[in-house]
Structure 1
């Protein structure tokens, strides 16, 4: 209603000004009869022309102002609507991302628990499906290396070990080897073969370098499980080669204290470069010297280096 009244008032003003301009021009024409009239008519012509010229400029300016105001209002509305949409989108995305993040966390936690259950089952249910699944997960997580799997000592007196290798294409291999890494025999375990028969063959291979009468199957599987669990908990212990209980783990590149003592990992190459490093570390009260010496000897043997002490 107010806008309509404004338009009516504007129309009246424009009509009045237009009429005034026309009247001025008519009067100017009437005054052209004498010299004074010529001067007066000139003034009136200029005044009338000015009025008539001002009107289009004013109308154009008014239309431009109205257009600018209208565009500004529309822009503000559009910006406001866009802001509301963006805010709503961000809230929706935030909720979706939170749901996705929660789902991912839950899935990873479930898989982590499943991994530990699979590792525990190595001792409780030693059969091909259980062991192959545990090793498959260890391989996917990078806990073990395909060229050299974790090994467990099965004869402390003669220092004979069983190394467990796994490859997705070739399956499970048990390698009997000496402390220096010399292979005595390799037994491939294929799906469908009885675990007992496989271990008998492994036991025969171990007997080549020892005098054991029977293989401590539970001790071997418990040692393998311990290797996988330690590597699962500590990324620095990956891929794991051997545990030197109670403190040090050997990997292809580092000696790692896995007992939670907070001792930093040691680069194997540094141990062999600095001849007195291992000796100095062994003198620290928080270092298990026997465990460290064993770890250094294992690293030297498997990497074919001369031990530093």
Structure 2
């Protein structure tokens, strides 16, 4: 009986740590789209994607060397490539391209779809089986986001919305695959090795795609590039993958429903973008959905 209580206590503590780490990751990610919006105003979106991956890859390589991390096994290489495709290349590139057509506030609303995408891949790739009520609240939260997007922006800039939908889909795969791999390889090691595997391709392309001169690039754009390279591309994933592995991919993934709230606040504060009452209404609805989804996640 005592052993059972100890196991239950350990499980609850691990679950709580997972939600704490996941929350820290979400807070870090919340500034990604506003920072990308600032950077893409003066950097080409393709170069921005290549540059952020290259900078983060160099930092990851140094971190792996200094901490003497073990190399991934051969069977782990394909999942690492899927992580790299989803979160190192796919999501950054697609969101940067989308931000050429829509505001960061508009793209942030689409992030409400990420929990549903992540949960779906948690079932397909992670072997998780949330309860039926979980799916009801996850779908409800995502439906609120999609309905708002359709009512506000699909007619105005369909290119941006299509790019964001593709970004959400491929990012969900990268999140679920990385979280599954984190259980055996470790959270910070997963994103670090994914970045290092991408480095031989991303670094030469970044050099080839670089503009002939950076004279016209101002400090805000450089700060935006620095943030998405160091925090969005590396540090945020250290907390995020650890949280997903500890608390469950589908469950902790619902925290992404909070990301629009933080992101919209940053967009209004830093970029002076207009935030409508409808945006706040959607955010409030998805916050209620994440609370309910967490209750029925297991």
Q: Which has the higher helix share?
A: 2
Larger radius of gyration: 1
Q: Which has the higher strand share?
A: 1
TM-score by length of structure 1 reads 0.24
